[in-house]
Amino acid sequence: MAREAHDPYVELAREAVEAYVREGRTVTPFDPLPAEMARRSGTFVSLKKGGALRGCIGTFLPTEANVAREVISNAIKSATGDPRFPPVEEKELALLVYSVDVLSEPAACQEEDLDPKCYGVIVERGWRCGLLLPDLEGVNTAAEQLAIARAKAGIHPSEPVRLYRFTVERHA
């Protein structure tokens, strides 16, 4: 079946996962690199199969030279390194649906500054850190968003935390 034309971020994530799963090869970014992919930013790559999450790994601050390399790295980690799932197998590749979130720089905030439809959240307590992307199905209030992020980090609801919010450019 022929694939429809997709967003270049999604295509890069797909290409990275397919090359790595099939050949153990890490792809190189587009050349020339589009200006929007030359910047530095954290990214998250999410994989879904049959509507269910199949992998999601990301960085809230940049760790690579540019967004394109960040997408490649996080796409491979989503397919092979998400501890919640076994590594993606070649027979699954045609069934995967990809999304890429490019994150803004996190900004310190208070709970009243949060809106789970607009902002993702990062909670920090010492070395523990939890992140939840914005606009997730079933997350309708800041309290729900914070509870999930705290649980991901192993932070008890009564423990004080530092809060940060961020926006995303979602590519699907």
Q: How far is CA 58 from CA 31, 74, 101, 160, in A?
A: 23, 5, 9, 25
Domains and CATH numbers, the chain: 8-103 (3.30.700.20), 107-171 (3.30.1490.150)
pLDDT tens digits for range 64-86 = 999 999 999 999 999 999 999 99
pLDDT tens digits for range 32-56 = 999 999 999 999 999 999 999 999 9
Residues of the chain below pLDDT 50: 1-3
Quote the pLDDT of residue 6: 78
Q: Which three-class secondary structure string do you get for the chain?
A: CCCCCCCHHHHHHHHHHHHHHHHCCCCCCCCCCCHHHHCCCCEEEEEEECCEEEEEEECCCCCCCCHHHHHHHHHHHHHHCCCCCCCCCHHHHHHEEEEEEEECCCEEECHHHCCCCCCEEEEEECCEEEEECCCCCCCCCHHHHHHHHHHHHCCCCCCCCEEEEECEEEEC
Dihedral angle, C-alpha 166, 69, 20, 76, nearest 10 °: -20
pTM: 0.91
